[in-house]
């Protein structure tokens, strides 16, 4: 039987895997391959938290294949060079892979496909990372979308995404498999073990993804509409890192949600529609990135290229990163991020607004920190989120919308549970004082054992004055 290489990247699963299904369906024996590229070939190499996740995801994927009496061949190097070497070693005549949509990867993949086809190899790429290909969704005047709501309506008009395929087996070539590296040889884990919180929080791999989806559909979907904005509760699916690494496909998540909605139950329909729309936001992020390749680095609204950011952060950036700003909701979010590699979306908006508007530091600085510390760091979604909060991107919040962290805590953490969990030095304060300890009277602070400036920092900026300064800065570019 002929042999095909199936090149795994961020699609580390065996269920609903179009390239693997196609190779097996065409009668190929399969050599599963993972190629680890050096950081200098990628303008956005994975950050530390993503590398941690990738290590365990690769291990789980290899274990899955071994249960099928197959193996994941891990190599390091330039993809085209490695693929050509493996083609020589195995005698394979085809290479199949799932598409990615980052600008640099699109360009690289195009070159790989052209070169392999020139060599006489059956080189093909397949969908699987998105519900809809980014080029399929176009407005009435054949332009890409800049706003989410009409984009999602256009997606829905295309009909339901295809049903997910089942689990594919990867039959080995009769001659066996070439040698490869151990996952440990890739050096993905941190040399200094700072990852205890990640290990406590997450279960990377296809089985972990399926368990997370099942638990959310059974326990969280009916309350999703009511709980998804409350960071103290486990009100969201937390599927984002599993989707990013392709341990579960968006078609699987979509189809399973539709099936759960069909079964009915209080709150399931409204929760399901909200959750499907969140999958839609992921689609929208990739749509915007595909049509705007410079989106991760440059503001979509060109006026913001002239925004008067601070020339010197004066230690403000480090205080923000460390969760030592003196603004409890902001600090809680930044500490959750450092400990778990994740942050609730409502809090992402709050800490983002604080950085770009109250501190008036460039959104790219926040984007870079999230890229390094989030286990779900996704180029499209990260860029969309930061440009949204900065007011410079697609469907962005207007710049004059400045999130007040105290008001946000009143609305979405009314009992102060989230702040108490991540800023424990304030846990003995009443909920109201936890939100704004600088407003608490001396007796309240003393009874809780809190001395500002010693046990917890004073605010590094005045929220009201910094908001006014941000709006003044915006006036400088408003009419450009």
Of 293, 310, 329, the domain-final residue: 293
Catalytic residue among 133, 281, 410, 469: 281
Residue of 37, 93, 309, 438 marked active site: 309
Q: Do 326 and 252 fall into the same domain?
A: no
Question: Is residue 336 located within the same domain as residue 348?
Answer: yes
Distances (CA, A) of 454 to 320, 336, 439, 451, 458: 18, 22, 16, 6, 9
Catalytic: 363? yes
Taking only the tens place, the pLDDT of each residue in 412-451 is 999 999 999 999 999 999 999 999 999 999 999 999 999 9
Quote the pLDDT of residue 77: 95
Question: Which CATH number is 77's domain given?
Answer: 3.40.50.620
**Among residues 85, 106, 129, which one ends one of the domains?**
129
200 catalytically annotated: no
Catalytic residue among 338, 365, 386, 388: 386
Q: 């030592």: which residue's tokens? A: 324
Residue 281 catalytic? yes
Instruction: DSSP for 418-472, please give it.
Output: HHHHH-GGGTTS-HHHHH-GGGS-HHHHHHTT--BTTTBPPPSS-HHHHHHHHHH
pLDDT band at 326 (very low <50, low <70, confident <90, very high): very high
In a domain, 310, yes or no: yes
Is the per-residue pLDDT at 397 higher than 80? no
Is the dihedral angle over the CA atoms 39, 43, 48, 52 positive or is it negative? negative
| Domain final position from 293, 328, 353 | 293
Active-site residue 386, yes or no? yes
97 belongs to a structural domain: yes
Q: Are residues 270 and 306 in the same domain?
A: no
- Is residue 463 domain-shared with residue 335, that is, in the same domain? yes
Q: Is 442 inside a domain boundary? A: yes
Q: Is 344:236 a contact under the CB 8 Å cutoff?
A: yes
DSSP codes of every residue in 176-189: -------GGGG--S
How many domains is the chain partitioned into structurally?
3
Per the domain annotation, does 195 fall within a domain? no
CA distance 31 to 393: 42
Q: What is the mean predicted confidence (pLDDT) over 33-60?
A: 92
Considering the domain architecture, whether residues 444 and 399 belong to the same structural domain is answered as: yes
Range in 31-40, 151-160, 313-322, 441-450 the model is least confident about: 31-40
Task: Examine the domain organization and report whether 220 and 86 are in the same domain.
Answer: no
Q: Is 309 a catalytic residue?
A: yes
Same domain? For 458 and 321 the reply is yes
Structural domain includes residue 186:
no
Q: Which of 124, 138, 147, 142 is nearest to 6 (CA)?
A: 124
Chain Cα centroid distance, residue 32: 25
Please indicate, yes or no, whether residues 276 and 307 belong to a single structural domain of this protein.
no
| Percentage of the chain modeled with pLDDT above 70 | 100
pLDDT band at residue 80 using 50, 70 and 90 as cut-offs: very high
* CA dist 268 → 17, 160, 264, 275, 278 (Å): 28, 19, 6, 10, 15
Q: Record the pTM.
A: 0.96
In a domain, 196, yes or no: no
Residue 312 has what pLDDT? 81
- Please pick, among 37, 93, 345, 425, the residue that the annotation labels catalytic: 345
* Percent of the chain predicted with pLDDT > 90: 90
Residue 270 pLDDT class (50, 70, 90 cuts): very high
Of these residues, 37, 278, 298, 410, which one is catalytic? 278
Same domain, yes or no: 158 and 269: yes
Burial (0-12, 13-18, 19+ Cβ within 10 Å), 39: exposed
Same domain for 395 and 334? yes
* CATH number for the domain harbouring residue 376: 1.10.579.10
What digits encode the pLDDT tens for the residues 84-118? 999 999 999 999 999 999 999 999 999 999 999 99
- Confidence band, pLDDT 50/70/90 cuts, at residue 329: very high
- Residue 30's domain comprises 3-129
For residues 198 and 340, the answer to whether their CB atoms sit within 8 Å is yes
Residues 75 and 143 in one domain: no
In a domain, 178, yes or no: no
Q: Which of 363, 365, 371, 422 is catalytic?
A: 363
Say if residue 345 is in the same domain as residue 288: no
356 within domain boundaries:
yes
């Amino acid at each position: 039987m002929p042999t095909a290489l199936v090149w795994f990247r961020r699609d580390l699963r065996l269920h609903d895997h179009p390239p693997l299904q196609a190779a097996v369906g065409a009668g190929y024996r399969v050599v599963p391959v993972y190629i680890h590229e050096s950081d200098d070939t990628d303008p956005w190499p994975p950050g530390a938290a993503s590398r941690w996740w990738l290590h365990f995801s690769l291990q789980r994927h290899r274990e899955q294949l071994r249960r099928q009496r197959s193996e994941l061949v891990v190599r390091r190097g330039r993809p085209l060079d490695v693929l050509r070497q493996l083609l020589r070693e195995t005698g394979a005549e085809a290479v199949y892979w799932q598409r990615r949509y980052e600008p640099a990867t699109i360009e690289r993949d195009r070159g790989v496909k052209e070169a392999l086809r020139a060599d006489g190899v059956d080189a093909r790429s397949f969908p699987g990372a998105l519900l809809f290909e980014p080029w399929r969704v176009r407005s009435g005047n054949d332009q890409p979308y800049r706003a989410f709501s009409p984009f999602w309506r256009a997606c829905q008009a295309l009909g339901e995404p295809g049903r997910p395929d089942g689990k594919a087996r990867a039959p080995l070539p009769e001659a066996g498999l070439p040698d490869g590296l151990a996952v440990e040889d890739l050096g993905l884990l941190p040399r200094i073990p700072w990852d205890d919180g990640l290990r406590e929080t997450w279960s990377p791999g296809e089985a972990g993804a399926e368990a997370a989806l099942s638990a959310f559909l059974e326990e969280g979907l009916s309350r999703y509409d009511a709980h998804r904005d409350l960071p103290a509760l486990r009100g969201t699916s937390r599927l984002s890192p599993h989707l990013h690494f392709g341990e579960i496909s968006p078609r699987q998540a979509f189809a399973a949600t539709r099936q759960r909605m069909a079964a009915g139950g209080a709150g399931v329909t409204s929760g399901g529609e909200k959750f499907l729309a969140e999958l839609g936001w992921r689609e929208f992020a990739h749509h915007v990135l595909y049509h705007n390749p410079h989106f991760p680095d440059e503001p979509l609204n060109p006026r913001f290229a002239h925004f008067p950011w601070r020339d010197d952060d004066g230690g403000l950036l480090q205080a923000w990163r460390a969760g030592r700003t003196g603004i409890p909701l902001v600090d809680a979010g930044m500490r959750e991020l450092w400990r778990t590699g994740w942050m609730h979306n409502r809090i992402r908006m709050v800490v983002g607004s604080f950085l770009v508007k109250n501190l008036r530091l460039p959104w790219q600085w926040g984007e870079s920190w999230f890229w390094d510390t989030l286990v779900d760091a996704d180029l499209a979604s990260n860029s969309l989120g930061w440009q949204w909060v900065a007011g410079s991107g697609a469907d962005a919040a207007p710049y004059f919308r400045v999130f007040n962290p105290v008001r946000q805590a009143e609305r979405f953490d009314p009992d102060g549970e989230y702040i108490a969990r991540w800023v424990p030095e304030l846990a003995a304060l009443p909920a109201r004082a936890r939100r704004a300890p600088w407003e608490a009277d001396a007796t309240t602070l003393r009874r809780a054992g809190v001395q500002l400036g010693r046990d917890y920092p004073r605010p590094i900026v005045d929220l009201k004055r910094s908001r006014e300064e941000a709006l003044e800065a915006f006036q400088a570019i408003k009419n450009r």
